């Protein structure tokens, strides 16, 4: 066992990956990033150094390239893997399904093959609440039924969870933990890293802050006739730093276990917040009036869903620390920082 706790973080300069890299350093791990920057800005490593004081260790590789990824397993005695690297746009996945199946599934298979060969037995997989599809009940537990995927993106997450289940059933020394994220929002409180969507954001919060800063003219709220208190969709918005910390709790939990487990855990704030509440919270923290209007529903949107996070509390000992107000404050501070 090496004295350094090296952890491979695929997609480690992405939105979720970069914030998790910060938490890994804070908890005494040494993250080794594998990322080809296809979805990430080249300013992120500098932001990471400002927060951690460390030069991030980055291998600029396509995680689907097993030969190049193997180099990392040869260079470091890895104690674990956190696999974020994947394409994540629901809308894009409908237009380019083959890109999503090739990348999201191919990268996972590569990581598992190398993990088994090099005996890296602690494996955290980045899954998603989209695996639930349109749930029968608003609050979902890990035992809630897995419904028909609403997009090729959601289907890739379901297939990846199935691959992990089949490897575990076949027998493997790898201990797997799949974290089903709900809606990660916000940015690091220092404003040195945050969400940097390519092009026009699909997601709500970056669209809100880009509208407020003047990059976008007006936010459209997709639908006002849902069966919710204010007619807009209900979601589980979780601060990205809480999500990052959940990965540390998950890694430590895996390391404390004997081999051959495979668990799935919801990672959300455990409360439902509507689109209109996000807008009103933003207006409170910014002191600005946001330019928005109602529009038609967006295809594929679920009306209301949020997480039961009892399992995360019970087995990982993890609970979220930030609320939506903090998340919107940090998101807005980040948007203003990158506009400087
Ligand atoms: C949230 C709400 C929209 C934009 C995504 C990913 C999913 C998962 C969670 C990772 C919806 C509304 C949005 C806009 C709007 N992530 N909205 N106007 O769709 O819940 O899920 O994050 O795995 O994979 O797809 O997030 O931010 O796109 O939408 O009214 O301009 O905001 O209708 O109700 P979503 P989102």
| pLDDT over 70 percentage in the chain | 99
Question: What would the mean pLDDT of 213-242 be, rounded to a whole number?
Answer: 98
Q: Which residue has the tokens 């997709």?
A: 222
95 assigned to some structural domain? yes
pLDDT at 338: 96
Backbone angles phi, psi at 64, to 5 degrees: -80, -10
Q: With a cut of 60, say whether residue 10 has pLDDT above it.
A: yes
Q: Which of 243-247, 259-263, 296-300 has the lowest mean pLDDT?
A: 259-263
Q: Which residue has the tokens 């007006």?
A: 218
Going by pLDDT thresholds of 50, 70 and 90, the confidence category of residue 4 is confident
- For position 243, which CATH number holds? 3.40.50.720
161 assigned to some structural domain? yes
303 assigned to some structural domain? no
318 assigned to some structural domain? no
User: Residues enclosing ligand 1, CB less than 6 A?
Assistant: 88, 90, 128-130, 181, 183, 202-204, 207, 219-222, 233, 235, 275, 298, 301
212 assigned to some structural domain? no
Nearest residue (by CA) to ligand 1, atom 33, is 222
23 assigned to some structural domain? yes
324 assigned to some structural domain? no
Task: Classify each residue of 160-185 as buried b or exposed e, where b means 16 or more C-beta atoms within 10 Å of its C-beta.
Answer: bbebbeebbeeebebbbbbbbbbbbb
Q: Which of 73-87, 162-176, 252-266 has the lowest mean pLDDT?
A: 252-266
Instruction: Return the sign of the alpha-carbon dihedral for residues 252, 58, 160, 145.
Output: positive
The token pair that represents 40 in the structure block: 């990430």
pTM of the model: 0.97
Q: Which of 160-174, 254-268, 271-285 has the lowest mean pLDDT?
A: 254-268
172 assigned to some structural domain? yes
Q: Give the Å distance between the CA of 55 and the centre of ligand 1.
A: 33
The token pair that represents 166 in the structure block: 């089949």
Q: With a cut of 60, say whether residue 2 has pLDDT above it.
A: no
Q: Give the Å distance between the CA of 8 and the centre of ligand 1.
A: 28
Q: Which of 153, 181, 207, 306 is catalytic?
A: 153
pLDDT digits (tens, 9 = 90+) for 172-201: 999 999 999 999 999 999 999 999 988 999
Q: Give the Å distance between the CA of 279 and the centre of ligand 1.
A: 14
Residue of higher predicted confidence among 267 and 199: 267
Going by pLDDT thresholds of 50, 70 and 90, the confidence category of residue 93 is very high
Ligand 1 atom closest to the CA of 232, numbered from 1:
34
Q: Give the domain extent around 245.
A: 6-185+237-268
Q: What is the mean pLDDT of the chain?
A: 96
pLDDT digits (tens, 9 = 90+) for 127-170: 999 999 999 999 999 999 999 998 999 999 999 999 999 999 99
Ligand 1 atom closest to the CA of 234, numbered from 1:
34
Ligand 1 atom closest to the CA of 233, numbered from 1:
34
**What's the domain count of the chain?**
1
pLDDT at 80: 98
């Amino acid at each position: 066992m090496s004295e350094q706790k090296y952890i491979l973080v695929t997609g480690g300069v992405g939105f979720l990956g970069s914030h998790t890299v910060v938490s890994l350093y804070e908890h005494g791990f040494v993250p080794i990033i594998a990322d080809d920057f296809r979805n990430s800005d080249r300013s992120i490593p500098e932001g990471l150094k400002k927060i951690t004081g460390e030069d991030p260790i980055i291998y600029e590789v396509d995680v689907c390239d097993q030969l190049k990824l193997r180099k990392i397993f040869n260079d470091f005695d890895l104690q674990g893997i956190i696999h974020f690297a994947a394409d994540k746009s629901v809308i894009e996945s409908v237009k380019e399904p083959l890109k999503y199946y090739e990348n999201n599934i191919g990268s996972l298979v590569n990581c598992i093959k190398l993990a088994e060969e090099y005996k890296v037995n602690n494996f955290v997989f980045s899954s998603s609440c989209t695996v639930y599809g349109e749930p029968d009940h608003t609050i979902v537990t890990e035992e809630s039924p897995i419904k028909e995927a609403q997009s090729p993106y959601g289907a890739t997450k379901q297939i990846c969870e199935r691959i992990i289940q089949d490897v575990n059933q076949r027998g493997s020394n790898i201990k797997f933990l799949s974290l089903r994220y709900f809606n990660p929002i916000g940015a690091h409180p220092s404003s040195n890293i945050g969400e940097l969507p390519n092009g026009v954001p699909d997601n709500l919060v970056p669209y809100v802050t880009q509208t407020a800063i003047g990059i976008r003219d007006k936010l459209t709220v997709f639908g006002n006739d849902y069966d919710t208190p204010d007619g807009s969709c209900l979601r589980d918005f979780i601060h990205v730093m809480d999500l990052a910390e959940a990965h540390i709790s998950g890694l430590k939990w895996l390391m404390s276990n004997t081999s051959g487990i495979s668990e799935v855990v919801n990672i959300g704030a455990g409360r439902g917040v509507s689109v209109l509440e996000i807008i009103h919270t933003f207006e409170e923290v910014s002191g600005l009036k946001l330019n928005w209007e109602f529009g038609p529903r967006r295809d594929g949107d679920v009306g209301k869903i949020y997480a039961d996070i009892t399992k995360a509390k019970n087995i990982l000992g993890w609970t979220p620390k930030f609320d939506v107000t903090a998340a919107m404050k940090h998101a807005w501070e980040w948007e203003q920082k990158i506009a400087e």
